[in-house]
Structure 1
Amino acid sequence: MAETEKPSLKEQVALLPLSPGVYQFVDRSGTIIYVGKAKSLRKRVSSYFVQSKEHSAKVRVLVKQIVEIRHIVVGSETDALLLENSLIKSLQPRYNILLKDDKTYPWIVVRREHFPRVQSTRILTRDGSQYFGPYGSVMMQRSVLDFIREVVPLRTCKLNLAPEPIAKGKYSVCLQYHLGNCKGPCVGLQSEEEYAQLVGMVVSVLKGDLRPVRQYLEGEMGRAAGELKFELAQRYKQRLDALDNYAGRSVIVSAKIVDVDVFSLLPDDDVAWCNFVRIRHGSIVGVQTVKLSTGIGGDERDMLTLAIQHIVENIAGGELAREVIVPLLPSTTLLFGGVTFTVPKRGEKLELLEFSQKSARIYRAE
């Protein structure tokens, strides 16, 4: 009996459902060469077959090799993300590796360099820099970066500020110095030690603790006023106002949720990823994920307890909000006095937990 002829690619795309799911591209040898996820399978897959200048050369080569499209329908985008990650890990499709840079998420990086810059990035490089995120949206990431640049005077230039070129007088101050947004480290007007203190405040902000930068601004404002430098004092007052505005502005949380911390846990063999989200005054002020060694076969409640303890001691400034949202109750709450742990079943608190879980999954995938 003759082998049944496969439908054309156009017909295969037309038969795809509009449901969320995972799609697989197969070449002539029957090998899966690419796995992807979609909110709507038909819409996402059809986009590959539309002539577009936005397609990279690698994508165009990929499309030419597709002879079959397979798909798996799932219940939600979150399930699609999980299944996609699992299939990529197990199948190692060639084009997922080649196109890895096409699927990135927004992070904030504190560069490892003389007079470190704080920047947006989508690429994680093992160069000793500090990375914070991933952020669930570019809007949220930009909101945090804009706030940092508004209240903490750090450089944004691309100059190499090693000691030698500064000592040789190679540079001159730019407009940002005259606007008060930079203190002139390029011409030796600011030491690395003083600059490092400012970077430390930024790191605290990225971890969800606004107290150090508030204390700094209040101190500088008082000092300027005492020296009768009223214009400078007014500048620090404006930065304090920006701090209050940032702390009171909702990024993705409604006014119903004021001060909470959120933890999610993603166990995987002998490690676990724990994401921490800090909400203050109804606004997300910190997002960070850490990878912890847990040992094989550990109890998830014990893992969560250890993860919270680690983050409290090393990231969250030694304290927790009075309410902490978690996916399951820790094995002991005695370590966290005065804290109420909530395992949400519905509503906005559950959405916050799901956001945290998504961030952990993105971190693991990256």
Structure 2
Amino acid sequence: MNESIAKTLAVLPDKPGVYIMRDEHGKIIYIGKAVVLKNRVRSYFRNLASHTVKVKALVAKVAEIETIVTDSEVEALILECNLIKKHRPRYNIMLKDDKTYPYLKVTLQEDFPRIYVTRRQLRDGAKYYGPYADAGAMHATVKLLRSMFPLRNCRKMNTDRPCLQYHIKRCLAPCAGYVSREDYGKMIKAVCMLLDGRTSELERELKLQMQQAAENYAFEEAARVRDQLQAVIRINEQQKAVTSGGDLDIVGLAKDSSGTCLQIFFVRGGKLIGRDNFFLQNDDDSDQEILTAFIKQYYNEASFVPREILLPVLPAADELIVLEEWLTARAGRKVEFLQPRRGTKRELLHLAVENAAKLLEERLRKGQVSLKTEEQAAEELQKALQLPNALERIDCFDISHTQGTETVASMVVFRNGKPCKKDYRRYKIESTEGKPDDFKSMQEVVYRRYKDYEELPSLVII
């Protein structure tokens, strides 16, 4: 333990908050929260022999600790979620994909809302559905909605003449004033009910609209609503009734040598309306730690939080209380985590676990993942080359030319064994134009790369 950390440990606050651990380069490597910062942070540096391999590796790299005090543990939880999302520290359990998952956005803040796919969730008055891990299923949902409801999909409404979408009956042309805001609003309400999984309620609503339109002799409108009703009835018949009622999320977990898969079943109004799967990076983390980290990341972004969330393993008792309090505040009603032991809910949870395990098996069978992680590959390369330090960054260079002209160099970068495409570079070589000389070309590109560059790699391959 260095002197800086010893001084920090001596003056840690006796309050709830978030702690941020940095390495010798100032890079954030772990973010956590605590009921009492003093007790939690000090625990990392006591009884090191009893810690997991991951915690030992983390402690060995910590050079600086920063703390942020909050008024409550719930505030600390929210801050922890937002900081992890922003900084994506190496030693936190993370969703495997670096990209953000897409949402369906319904622009309720507009007079005539539209629906489209987005990866950003803003506080702009719109309603968001997701996140969707399966982009194919999400786009299929959008296609279904647009076939059922003639929604506008243009960004601007600065025209007095309807476009082709109106003439092929895929839009009601609000831009040309062909539909009232009230009538268009009824259609958007139906879209939201369908996305919420309230198909039975929507079915009753559409029947009422159809009858009213027919009574008013608006037969064309009644026929359009009839077509929507028939589509909703088909969807309702396809959805399987699994419980007597209520909204549930059911999270199944499976692990193997390639990683961890979490399968979520969405039950709305007692019917199974869909499912999604996510992958998490894990080392020697327990199921309880993985589920706790997943709950924080998923429900910090989720557009809807059900009343009950079924889990194969409950979070630790102190975490459980804070998570339920946090989600209850988010949802505006009581939310609780359950670990069912018998009955229908237990069967559903078992089914979710089986599906997660099956998905991992399929990925392995198709050869989509290697049994060795990228980090393990980097560690093996370090041992093979007998290098003293971990290969946190590798730069690779190559030269190419066309019969001595148009000489270029390319550089690819690996961080902790993973390709880092945002750091890739291409250089136009000037010193050997017209005279092919790979050695001189390599000399130029390496000099240009590192003459003013502060972050030197662990290994350069040419």
The TM-score range, normalised by the shorter chain, is 0.3 to 0.5
Bigger Cα Rg:
2
Q: Provide the TM-score with structure 1 as the length reference.
A: 0.47
Q: Provide the TM-score with structure 2 as the length reference.
A: 0.38
- State the structure with bigger RCO (CA 8 A, min sep 6), 1 or 2: 1
